[in-house]
Amino acid sequence: MPIDIHRDTATQRADYTIDQNWDAYTAEEHAVWATLFKRQVRLLKDRVVPVFLDHVDGLAMAGDGIPDFRRLNDILHKATGWTVVAVPGLVPDATFFEQLANRRFPSTCFIRTPEELDYLEEPDTFHDVFGHVPLLLDPMFADYMQEYGKGGLKADGQGALKRLARLYWYTVEFGLTRTPDGLRIYGAGIASSAGETVFALEDRSPNRVAFDLDRVMRTDYRIDDYQETYFVIPGFRSLMKATEADFTPIYARLDELPDIPSDAVTDGDHVLNFGTGKYHRERQRKTA
Ligand code: HBI
Ligand code: FE
């Protein structure tokens, strides 16, 4: 297979960024975006926080092809001071945090193949752009992402990266929130996946537990399949408040406590749905 210019590390700069090379996308690559985009916009109506789809419109993301980062940034930078920068794939943790702390979002620019439409472990540009960028237009969430970057740099120096990675995972990637109209998705990992959009919100299999910072920082997660537990925040303001304290004493306290498995419900949990665990049990049986 020829190398994909959108995943080529040969041209990456010291900060791991590359040019998006928007002109180099093929019609087939744009068509993959269009297919995913149409499916998600339809599925997310009444399932995602309303501001998410407002911001998809606000960013002029079109259903017909992969957005040009230059066009996105014209709008995004004026609105909240954020910039999307292209990277060839996962970047080192410290680099990732450094970028976020400076209100730059490192986004992949390659897109999955038609054969990978439904599930992909690594982030591609549909996940990064469609999943993450709309909420960067929300002032409160935009600040949360920057604070997360700053917190990541600090945690890295304190041997607490694992704690912060879990917080990111269970909020930015797989978070659910209450709204006056019911439970809604805000996590990018859910919002960019057709299967998980329905699973996270409606399936009886996963646990849905009220967000608690200590609890989240102790909880393992899976990267290979849908989550076994989702954490529910009351809203973005509350998430900001819950995470504004200095985490240093929290890390010290948590180091005395055991980790919590990804499928567990614990004594202190405020449980919204006690999951049946059926989905993962059946998957296990099939692959055993
Ligand atoms: N790199 N491109 C990219 N995207 C990510 O989401 C990402 C990354 N590097 C590290 C990383 N995420 C994580 O380690 C954490 O947030 C913990
Ligand atoms: Fe992501």
Q: What is the 105 CA–ligand 1 centroid distance (Å)? A: 10
Q: What is the 265 CA–ligand 2 centroid distance (Å)? A: 25
pLDDT at position 2 is: 64
Residue nearest atom 1 in ligand 1 by C-alpha distance: 90
> Whole-model pTM?
0.97
Confidence label for 119 from pLDDT (cuts 50, 70 and 90)? confident
Q: Is the domain of 119 the same as that of 2? A: yes
Burial of 253 from C-beta contacts in 10 A (0-12 / 13-18 / 19+)? exposed
Q: Is the domain of 120 the same as that of 166? A: no
Q: What is the 106 CA–ligand 2 centroid distance (Å)? A: 10
Domain boundary among 157, 186, 220: 157
Ligand nearest to the CA of 100: 1
Q: Is the domain of 27 the same as that of 129? A: yes
Q: Where in the sequence is the domain holding 219, given as residue range(s)?
A: 159-288
Q: Is the domain of 37 the same as that of 90? A: yes
Q: Is the domain of 53 the same as that of 136? A: yes
- The torsion angles phi and psi of 204, rounded to 5 degrees, stand at -85, -10
Pocket test for ligand 1, best of 12, 84, 87, 96 (most atoms within 8 A of CB): 96
Residue nearest atom 2 in ligand 1 by C-alpha distance: 90
pLDDT in tens, 48-74: 999 999 999 999 898 889 999 999 999
Q: Is the domain of 73 the same as that of 211? A: no
Q: Is the domain of 188 the same as that of 143? A: no
Q: Is the domain of 126 the same as that of 166? A: no
Q: Is the domain of 244 the same as that of 147? A: no
Strand partners, 84: 105
Q: How many CB atoms are located within 10 Å of the residue 34 CB?
A: 15
The rounded distance, in Å, linking the Cα atoms of 201 and 195 is: 10
Domain boundary among 97, 125, 157: 157
DSSP 45-77: TTTB-HHHHHHHHHTT--TTSPPPHHHHHHHHH
Q: Is the domain of 58 the same as that of 72? A: yes
pLDDT over threshold 60, residue 186: yes
CATH number of 82's domain: 1.10.800.10
Q: Is the domain of 165 the same as that of 139? A: no
Atom in ligand 1 nearest the alpha carbon of residue 168: 16
pLDDT in tens, 215-240: 999 999 999 999 999 999 999 999 99
Domain boundary among 110, 130, 157: 157
Enumerate residues 6+ apart whose C-beta is below 8 A from 267: none
pLDDT in tens, 125-180: 999 999 999 999 999 999 999 999 999 999 999 999 999 999 999 999 999 999 99
Instruction: Tell me which residues have their CB closer than 6 angstroms to ligand 1.
Output: 87, 90-91, 93, 96, 106, 108, 123, 165, 168
What is the number of domains present in the chain? 2
pLDDT in tens, 7-53: 999 999 999 999 999 999 999 999 999 999 999 999 999 999 999 99
Q: Is the domain of 146 the same as that of 173? A: no
